[in-house]
Amino acid sequence: MKKTFSFMALPMLLLTAGGAFAQAKQTDSFKVYGNCEMCKERIEEAAAVPGVRTAVWDVKTKQLKVSYDPAKIKNGAIQQKIAAAGHDTEKQKAPDAVYNKLPECCQYERK
């Protein structure tokens, strides 16, 4: 009797956990302008807002890969947060005043 219970309980637990993950997760990639490892830290920190699970920026490709809960935050809102930290994104331009305060090595070329 005891054995039957544990055999049944495990797959049910796994199903429940899997369902919860699939339900609220979206992964997007978009361009964020920056130069170096300092930018990487600043960008990833700016993207780490409630609803965002992971944010990883690639120094070479300038692509930010974010995984988030679309019920809690939207792609556009994440891009706004990053722009507010001084980094232009695909859709959002950083305020000039914030950009100008970035360390010199971080002042990426703007279009």
* Contact of 28 with 66, CB cutoff 8 Å: yes
Interaction of residue 36 with Cu ion, rule CB under 5 A: yes
Residue closer to Cu ion (CB basis): 14 or 59? 59
Stretch that binds Cu ion, among 14-22, 30-38, 44-52, 92-100 (CB under 5 A): 30-38
Question: Pick from 32, 33, 39, 78: which binds Cu ion (CB under 5 A)?
Answer: 39
Residue by residue, DSSP assigns 13-76 as: HHHHHHHHHHHT-EEEEEEB---SHHHHHHHHHHH--TTEEEEEE-TTT-EEEEEE-TTT--HH
Interaction of residue 59 with Cu ion, rule CB under 5 A: no
To Cu ion, the closest distance from the beta carbon of 17 in angstroms equals 38
Interaction of residue 9 with Cu ion, rule CB under 5 A: no
Interaction of residue 20 with Cu ion, rule CB under 5 A: no
